[in-house]
Amino acid sequence: MVINSTSDTAVETAPGSCVVALDVGGTGMKGAVLDHSMQPVVALHRPTPRADGPEAVVDAITDALLCLARRAAERELSVRHAGVVVPGIVDEELQRAVWSANLGWRDLMLGAVLEARTGLPVTLGHDVRAGGAAECALGAARAARNAVFVAVGTGIAAAIVCDGKPLSCDGFAGELGHVRVPGGTPCACGGTGCLETIASASAVADAYTTRSGRPVAGAADVAALVERGDPVARAVWERATEGLAEALTAVTTLFAPELIVLGGGLAEADRLLLDPVRDGLAARLTFQRTPVLVRAALGDRAGCLGAGLAAWQAAGHRIPSLLTGASAQ
């Protein structure tokens, strides 16, 4: 039995109930069928066809949801709800994808579009706020009342929890990737100097390729080259970590988090990323509370799990508390 999150009315969990969760990133989509204990029954990984335009991305999301629903039905599971999380500016209350520099859409009523195309009840959310909710409920930020979750992937964004309450601000909160830092270059958002232009995973890979003349598959290759002492890789990595430390100094000064959780693809480098960012942040702080800096516990599953938590909540089931980290019921 689980408890409704708004009315505290007991709701029986029907045998074989599940939700569909989909995390749409700038590079790839991660999906799952999740049971009521948040365990994945089915997993799905597909590329995001952003080069083909916004409509192609919507088609791909639709197809992924329908595929997951079919695979649930094959296992005789009943889909209660679907949760979809996307990057950019997302107004959860209106279920609208307001804008995304990486995916190219603007003012798209994506929740309603997906419901019409799939026949599923859909809850639309922001990928990083969903990842932050998952880390607060199930991962590295359990029991933290003031925490910031930062996802460093194709883009960069943050989920902010202050005094136990997540900040949304009509979907505009947390756009850390568009904080201006020294060394930043022209950005897809139309600005110049954004953190994303030097510290996102794609920016790190592109910068190494441009400076060295040697193409790399991604930021993980640059991290490996840093560990081998490649001077170009070390310069690119240092610029990225200094930029992150600069941006996190502003976040710390404004919100005073006790904990900062770094996630996303770049955080897979672990101490190679965390140590210089931690040192750079500490060197910049004076009177501010110095936050503990840790790596995300849920890895690249955070967004998908957050989408699943939102789906279960929309279906009338209590999700784990942001503050207590209680297990899913």
Q: In this structure, are 250 and 173 located in the same domain? A: yes
- Phi, psi values for residue 222, rounded to 5°: -65, -40
pLDDT at 5 over 60: no
For residues 259 and 318, the model is more confident at 259
Q: In this structure, are 83 and 41 located in the same domain? A: yes
pLDDT tens digits, 66-110: 999 999 999 999 999 999 999 989 999 999 999 998 898 999 999
pLDDT at 6 over 50: no
Cα torsion through 60, 115, 33, 139, rounded to 10: 90
Which pTM does this prediction carry? Answer: 0.85
User: Per-residue confidence at 317, pLDDT binned at 50, 70, 90?
Assistant: confident
Q: In this structure, are 119 and 182 located in the same domain? A: no
Domain holding 72: CATH number?
A: 3.30.420.40
Q: Residue 282: which domain range?
A: 142-296
Instruction: Confirm if 27 and 153 have CB atoms less than 8 A apart.
Output: yes
In this prediction, residue 15 carries a pLDDT of 67
Q: In this structure, are 57 and 194 located in the same domain? A: no
Q: In this structure, are 285 and 163 located in the same domain? A: yes
Q: In this structure, are 229 and 175 located in the same domain? A: yes
CA-based R_g, the chain, Å: 19
- Phi, psi values for residue 24, rounded to 5°: -100, 115
Q: In this structure, are 96 and 152 located in the same domain? A: no
Q: Is residue 20 part of a domain?
A: yes
In this prediction, residue 129 carries a pLDDT of 95
Q: Which of 192, 266, 178, 182 is nearest to 226 (CA)?
A: 266
pLDDT tens digits, 114-129: 999 999 999 999 999 9
pLDDT tens digits, 9-45: 334 456 689 999 999 998 899 999 999 889 999 999 9
pLDDT at 257 over 80: yes
Where do runs of H (alpha helix) occur along the chain? 54-74, 110-118, 127-138, 196-199, 201-212, 219-227, 231-255, 271-284, 302-314
Q: In this structure, are 127 and 54 located in the same domain? A: yes
In this prediction, residue 328 carries a pLDDT of 33
User: Per-residue confidence at 8, pLDDT binned at 50, 70, 90?
Assistant: very low
Q: Which range has the worst mean pLDDT, 59-73, 248-262, 307-321?
A: 307-321
State CA 144 to chain mean position distance.
Answer: 18
pLDDT at 323 over 70: no
Measured CA to CA, the distance from residue 217 to residue 118 in angstroms comes to 35
**Mean of the pLDDT values across residues 41-54?**
95
Q: Which two tokens stand for residue 165?
A: 């309450």
- Phi, psi values for residue 278, rounded to 5°: -60, -45
Specify the number of domains making up the chain.
2
Q: In this structure, are 187 and 284 located in the same domain? A: yes
pLDDT at 2 over 50: no
Letter string b/e over residues 259-273, b meaning 16 or more CB atoms within 10 A of that residue's CB? bbbbbbbbbbbeebb
Q: Is residue 212 part of a domain?
A: yes
State CA 260 to chain mean position distance.
Answer: 14
Q: In this structure, are 211 and 91 located in the same domain? A: no
pLDDT tens digits, 186-245: 998 899 999 999 999 999 999 999 999 999 999 999 999 999 999 999 999 999 999 999
In this prediction, residue 3 carries a pLDDT of 27
pLDDT tens digits, 126-183: 999 999 999 999 999 998 999 999 999 888 999 999 999 999 998 899 999 999 999 9
- Phi, psi values for residue 307, rounded to 5°: -65, -40
**Mean of the pLDDT values across residues 264-284?**
96
